[in-house]
Amino acid sequence: MTNSIMIAIILALIAGGVGYVVGSMLRKKSSEALVTNAEELAAKMIEDAKRQTEVMAMEAAIQAKDAVYQAKEELEKQFEQETRDKKRDLQALEKRLQQKEENLDKKTNLFDQRDTEFLKREQSLASREQVLSTKEQAQVQKEEQIDQLVTEQRARLEQISGMTSAEAKKVLMDAMEDEAKLDAAKIIKAMEEEARETADKKSKEILALAIQRYAGEYVAERSVSVVTLPSDEMKGRIIGREGRNIRALEAATGIDLIIDDTPEAVILSGFNPVRREVAKLSLQKLIADGRIHPGRIEEVVAKSQEEIDQAMKEAGDQAAFDLGVHGIHPEILKLIGRLKYRTSYSQNVYQHSLEVAFLCGIMAAELGINVKQAKRAGLLHDLGKAVDHEIEGSHAVIGADIAKKYGESPKIVHAIMAHHEDEKPASVLAVLVQAADALSGARPGARREMMETYVKRLDDLERIATSFDGVVNSFAIQAGREIRVMVSSDLVSDDRALLLAKDIAKKIENEMTYPGQIKVNVIRETRATEYAR
pLDDT at residue 209 is higher than 70: no
- Residue-wise pLDDT tens digits, 325-377: 888 898 988 888 888 888 776 678 888 888 889 889 888 888 888 889 989 98
| Percent of the chain topping pLDDT 90 | 3
Q: What is the rounded distance in angstroms from the CA atom of residue 335 to the CA atom of residue 355? A: 17
Q: How many Å apart are CA 310 and CA 331, to the nearest integer?
A: 13
Instruction: For CA atoms 26, 27, 30, 31, give the dihedral sign.
Output: positive
Confidence of residue 412 (pLDDT cuts 50, 70, 90): very high
Q: Kindly write down the DSSP assignment for every residue of 128-139, as one continuous string.
A: HHHHHHHHHHHH
User: Could you give the CA distance from residue 444 to residue 395 in angstroms, rounded to a whole number?
Assistant: 24
Collapse the DSSP code of 514 into the 3-class scheme (helix H, G, I; strand E, B; otherwise coil) and give the result.
coil
Separation between Cα atoms, residue 67 and residue 288, nearest integer Å: 131
DSSP structure string for 469-487? TTEEEEEEETTTTEEEEEE
225 C-beta neighbours (distance < 10 Å), count: 15
Main-chain dihedrals φ then ψ at residue 405, nearest 5 degrees: -60, -40
- Is residue 258 within 8 A of residue 269, CB to CB? The reply is yes
Cα(527)–Cα(232) distance, integer angstroms? 71
* Residue 443 reports pLDDT greater than 80: no
d(CA 494, CA 177): 17
Residue 455, pLDDT > 80, answer no
CA–chain centroid gap for 489, Å, is: 52
Give percent of the chain above pLDDT 70: 78
pLDDT in tens, 77-110: 888 888 888 888 888 888 888 888 888 888 888 8
Q: How far apart are CA 300 and CA 294, in angstroms?
A: 10
Using DSSP, state whether 159 is helix, strand or coil.
Answer: helix
pTM of the entire structure? 0.47
Q: Can you name the residues that pair with 521 across neighbouring β-strands?
A: 484
Do 252 and 305 meet the contact criterion of CB atoms below 8 Å apart?
no
Flag the least confident range among 58-72, 197-211, 256-270, 298-312. Answer: 197-211
Residue 466 has pLDDT above 50, yes or no: yes
Q: Which residue has the higher pLDDT, 444 or 491?
A: 491
Q: Is the distance from CB of 376 to CB of 386 less than 8 angstroms?
A: no
In this predicted structure, the answer to whether residue 189 has a pLDDT above a threshold of 50 is yes
Is residue 270 within 8 A of residue 279, CB to CB? The reply is yes
Cα of first residue to Cα of last residue in the chain, in angstroms, is: 170
| pLDDT at 250 exceeding the cut of 60 | yes
Q: Are 502 and 185 in contact (CB under 8 A)?
A: no
- Helix residue ranges per DSSP H, 371-450: 371-380, 395-405, 410-418, 428-442
Tell me what pLDDT residue 17 has: 63
* Residue closest to 395 by CA, chosen among 342, 331, 453: 342
